[in-house]
Structure 1
Amino acid sequence: MIRLLLADDQALVRGALAALLSLEGDLEVVGEVSRGDEVAEACRTLRPDVVLMDIEMPGLDGIAATAAVRRAVPGTRVLVVTTFGRPGYLRRAMEAGAAGFVVKDTPARELADVVRRVAAGLRVVDPALAAESLAAGLTPLTDRETEVLRAARDGGTVADLAATLHLSEGTVRNHLSAAIGKTGARTRAEAVRLADTNGWL
């Protein structure tokens, strides 16, 4: 029996996944969590073989939660199952230690097969997304430019960003300017949108 933990902030999605996967004779859902910062502790307690991990969750995103699971319970494998099939997310999830990455519109029978393959020690990635990720390449942004764009998501002035990030206003302007240039955007808001769409943030 393959023991599964479902990590998704949408109760309806968790319920649907649990119902579909429980129809398979060799799969057992042993727990569900709705927050990213609850996943590692649930893995310590429940010892699932595979975590089905969403990316966008409160508390901790699925990529950071994947890294936390890999540190806390190295024997548990993580399969990212997300609505957001973005190349940057795929790359970051795999770097964090995910064993697989598929999108939520994967047919139920196919998802069950992916779970089995991940549990068996294989790496499984949505082929179309893998090709897109290779074509997109690595993020052009530095860590600091990424940090500044993340902070800029909520708007705010350069002074606000500088205060939040403990940087000078000139440094924030320089990083924003570099990020705008690298993303091919015309404005700060467009740079945030483009970087987000590519999964770089």
Structure 2
Amino acid sequence: MISVLLADDENLIRSALAAMLSLEDDLDVVAEASRGDDAVAKALAFRPDVAVLDLQMPELDGVEVAARLAKELPSCRCIIVTSHARPGYLKRALSVGAKGFLPKTATGSTLAEVIRKVVDGGRYVDPDLAAEAISAGDSPLTPREADVLEAAADGAAIEEVARRVSLAAGTTRNYLSSAIAKLGAGNRYEATQLARQFGWI
């Protein structure tokens, strides 16, 4: 029997996934979580074979949960499901060791097959998402530029952004200017939107 943890902040979707997976003879949903930090705690408590993680959750996102579990519970394979299939997210997920990445439009039987595949040591990436990731290319931003741009996403003043990223205001302004120029944006709001569209922040 394969034990599964489901983590999704949308109760209806999580309940539907649990109901679909319960129809499979070899799958057992042992725990559910609605937040990323709770997903980590429940994974460590129940030690499931597989964690099916929503990409966007409160506290920690699915990729952050996968990264934590790779360190703290390496026996648990992580699968990311998302309705925000942006290329950068796929690359981030794979870089932290996620074994599966598929859209929420996938069928229950597809998810069940992916769970079995990753437990057997395989990997699954939705073909359409993989093609999009390849065509989008790599982020032009350095990790520090991406951090600063993300910290500035809510429109905070430069001094506040600088405090968030532990840099001087002038250095922060330079990183923002560089990120805006690299993305061909008119301002930081546009740069943030573009970077998010490609999943680079």
Say whether residues 1:192 and 2:198 are aligned partners.
no
Query: For the residues of structure 2 that align with 1:141 and 1:107, how far apart are their CA atoms?
Result: 35
In the alignment, which residue of structure 1 is the partner of 2:135?
A: 135
Structure 2 distance, partners of 1:101, 1:61, is: 14
- Deviation by residue 1:47-105 (Cα, 9 ceiling, x = unmatched): 21110011111111111110111111111100101111111000000101100100100
**Distance apart, 1:32 and its partner CA:** 0.2
8 Å Cα contact 2:153/2:188 also seen in 1: no
What code does the residue aligned with 2:9 have? D
Q: Secondary structure at the match of 1:177?
A: helix
Q: Deviations over 1:97-141 (max 9, x none)?
A: 100100100012212111111121101000011111112222111
CA positional deviation for 1:4: 0.5
**What secondary structure is seen at the aligned counterpart in 2 of 1:25?**
coil
Whether 2:69 is the aligned partner of 1:89: answer no
Looking at structure 1, the residues matched to 41 and 156 of structure 2 have their Cα atoms a distance apart, in angstroms, of 35
2:109 aligns with 109
Asked whether the equivalents of residues 39 and 69 of structure 1 are also in contact (C-alpha less than 8 Å), the reply is no
Q: Distance in 2 between matches of 1:97 and 1:58?
A: 21
Q: Which amino acid aligns with 1:177?
A: S
CA shift digits 1:136-189 (9 cap, x unpaired): 222111111111111111112222212332322221111111111111211110
Query: Which residue pairs with 2:178 in the alignment?
Result: 178
Structure 1 unaligned segments of length 5 or more: list them: none
TM-score norm. by structure 1 comes to 0.96
Q: Is the 8 A contact 2:3 2:30 kept in 1?
A: yes
State the distance in 2 between where 1:99 and 1:41 align: 20
Partner of 2:7: 7
Aligned structure 1 segments of 4 or more residues deviating by more than 6 angstroms: none
**Post-superposition offset of 1:39:** 2.2
Structure 2, unaligned runs of 5 or more: none
Is 2:77 the counterpart of 1:77? Answer: yes
Q: Match of 1:151?
A: 151
Counterpart residue identity of residue 71, structure 1 = K
One-letter code aligned to 1:72: E
User: Quick one: distance in 2 between partners of 1:162 and 1:15?
Assistant: 41
Contact 1:40 1:73 in 2 (8 A): no
Deviates more, 1:105-114 or 1:93-102: 105-114
The one-letter code sitting in structure 2 at the alignment partner of 1:134 is I
Please name the residue that 1:42 is paired with. Answer: 42
Q: Which whole-Å CA distance do the structure 2 matches of 1:67 and 1:168 have between them? A: 29
